[in-house]
Amino acid sequence: MQLQLPEPSADALAASRSLQHLIADEIRRSDGWISFARYMELVLYAPGLGYYSGGATKLGKEGDFTTAPEISPLFGATLAHLATELFDQTDAAIMEFGAGTGKLALDILTELRTADRLPTHYFVVEISTQLRARQQETLRDFPQVRWLDSLPAAFSGVVIGNEVLDAMPVQLVIRGEDSWLERGVTQDASGAFAYADRPCDDTLMAQIPDAEVLPVGYLTEVHPISVGFMQSLGAMLQGGKGVALLFDYGFPAHEYYLHERGQGTLMCHYRHHAHPDPFYLPGLQDVTAHVDFTAMAKAAIEGGLDVFGYTSQAAFLLGAGIGDLLLRTSPEQSRAYLPQSNAVQKLISPAEMGELFKVLAVGKNINWPERLYAHDRTHRL
């Protein structure tokens, strides 16, 4: 497939080629085949070369995609106001996974400073040294911020993960004539990366409901790494009081594994172009898959947590008060109000992010605000 996408710089192309050599070496050392999850891990996180660990600009107008915090500071302000409610039940601490440019943390902390409710700590779990450096510059005025390389053993407070689960490596499986197969990565005669299938470990199929009735040729993803993350989250929150808010695009299992979604949800993002080829310019593009929220909720429960809610981003933000925050600027001040209103519309419109993105809230020993149950969809998980 020939993709018509913007040309990378010479330096970026050289970095991608270095990563391709690294992946090719690993394939050779692994008898000519690696799992897709391992390939995805390398193209996203290989030290110094992966998409999130290299030096490419990822977010905003100059990057490859735009996230909710980049659209409007009211996204972070809304989370800040919800956090102040939850601080009354738990420690006044926040932990954010994968903080990107630091924009969400900046918006949350700025709002909390205005309300005189700054947390004792704002922990950022960030594995990208390049993004961490950017975050440190963005958040230099907030001494409450501390960076972590991994989850601590215990935490009480508010945990935030915006578009974190979709960036975790997935396994690919495909229904063969007689059984399910795992789709991994090899090299063809020319040395290019290509798919290759081999017998599937039965444990991979546990996530797919009614897998035996799906048709031959059905290709999809399973998510053992993000399941493990949710269980680790449970262990971290188990002994305290806290809630984790996870924003991402995805579906409950009965919608994820529809007959009609027979080629899965894997998608790549390069310079605001979306396409399905994960072998294009390794290290220079994002590779993601939609989230199976049923699997995430089950893993949280297995980890000892309670599911407080699951709903659309629109319903969550409206219930959490984004409309009230927008009205702090009078509609009569059209020059100031209209840009903010348009940005909020992108966050909540069903045609934009409002319905595609969902919010899963899990935690322990917290009374979830009653108003956030209004449009709850937990029964659909």
Rounded percentage of the chain residues whose pLDDT exceeds 90:
87
pLDDT at 201: 87
Tell me the CATH number for domain 24-166+223-380.
Answer: 3.40.50.12710
How does pLDDT run across 12-45, given as a tens digit for each residue?
A: 899 999 999 999 999 999 999 999 999 999 999 9
Q: Are 359 and 309 contacting, i.e. CB atoms less than 8 angstroms apart?
A: yes
Residues ≥6 apart with Cβ < 8 Å to 141:
none
pLDDT of residue 260 exceeding 70 = yes
CB proximity list for 339: less than 8 A, separation 6 or greater: none
Q: Are 90 and 366 in contact (CB under 8 A)?
A: yes
DSSP 3-state percent helix, strand, coil across the chain (nearest 5)? 40, 25, 40
- Taking only the tens place, the pLDDT of each residue in 157-170 is 999 999 999 999 99
Distance of alpha carbon 102 from alpha carbon 129, whole angstroms:
13
pLDDT at 354 over 60: yes
pLDDT range class, residue 56, cuts 50, 70, 90: low
At 219, list the tokens. 């290709």
pLDDT of 7 reads: 85
The answer to whether the Cα torsion of 255, 257, 262, 267 is positive or negative is positive
Contacts of 376 (CB under 8 A, 6+ apart): 309, 310, 311
Q: What is the pLDDT of residues 60-85, one digit of tens each?
A: 444 456 899 999 999 999 999 999 99
Residue 16 φ then ψ, to 5°: -60, -40
This prediction's pTM? 0.95
Yes or no: say if 149 and 132 are a contact pair by the CB < 8 Å rule.
no
Domain ranges of the chain: 24-166+223-380
DSSP-derived secondary structure letter, 366: -
Model pLDDT for residues 211-245, shown as the tens digit of each residue: 999 999 999 999 999 999 999 999 999 999 999 99
**Amino acid 271: pLDDT:** 82
